[in-house]
Amino acid sequence: FANQNLAKGSPIPVGIDRAPEVISVDLPGLTHGTNRVTVPNPSKSTVDQGVNDLLQRWTDRHDKYPEHAAKISYDESMVNSKEQLKAKFGLGFEKIAAKLNVNFEAIHKHERQVAIASFKQIYYTVAMDTPTNPHSVFAPNVTTEDLIARGVNNKNPLGY
């Protein structure tokens, strides 16, 4: 659902039959369509298997691309509020906020300063082709009534 749970980084999936989907990876050397695969009955496990198949295709060619460079980003900043961290780190921040053990009250009173650094090292990205229409995500047998029965409504619209 595309509701408050999604905004907090804890989306609630809707278990319903889905149409086949095409997933791809952006690794070098996978050319002429070898970077993508169609997952006929998408579920977590079948999509994971599709990703693993794509990665296996790439590693089978590893002697041509033995050292794949990562996309690296680094950022640091001084933190003044919890809201600033939410804006900086995105939807999943609520889950890690307690583990950071940051005393926001002391920061607000200017008793402490906190610096936060973010380092990302991305070796590949998995993507799903964007559906041409919202309904094309679902299997042909899925009806509006099926979606309503699973809780889809104005407060819980679908998101993909």
150 part of a folded domain: no
Let me know whether 131 and 60 are in one domain.
Answer: yes
Average pLDDT score over the chain: 85
116 or 71, greater pLDDT: 71
At residue 91 the predicted structure's pLDDT band, cuts being 50, 70 and 90, is low
Let me know whether 77 and 101 are in one domain.
Answer: yes
Let me know whether 32 and 104 are in one domain.
Answer: no
Total domains in the fold of the chain: 2
For 6-20, the pLDDT digits (tens) are: 777 778 888 899 999
Residue 30, domain CATH: 3.90.840.10
Q: For 25-40, what is the mean pLDDT?
A: 92
Is the pTM higher than 0.85? The answer reads: no
- Residue span of the structural domain in which 93 resides: 71-122
Let me know whether 61 and 129 are in one domain.
Answer: yes
Let me know whether 129 and 118 are in one domain.
Answer: no
69 or 38, greater pLDDT: 38
> What is d(CA 131, CA 133) in angstroms, rounded to the nearest whole number?
5
> Exposed, middle or buried, 14 (CB in 10 Å: 0-12/13-18/19+)?
middle
At residue 42 the predicted structure's pLDDT band, cuts being 50, 70 and 90, is very high
134 part of a folded domain: yes
Report how far apart, in Å, the C-alpha atoms of 100 and of each of 16, 75, 103, 108, 114 are: 37, 17, 9, 16, 11
22 part of a folded domain: yes
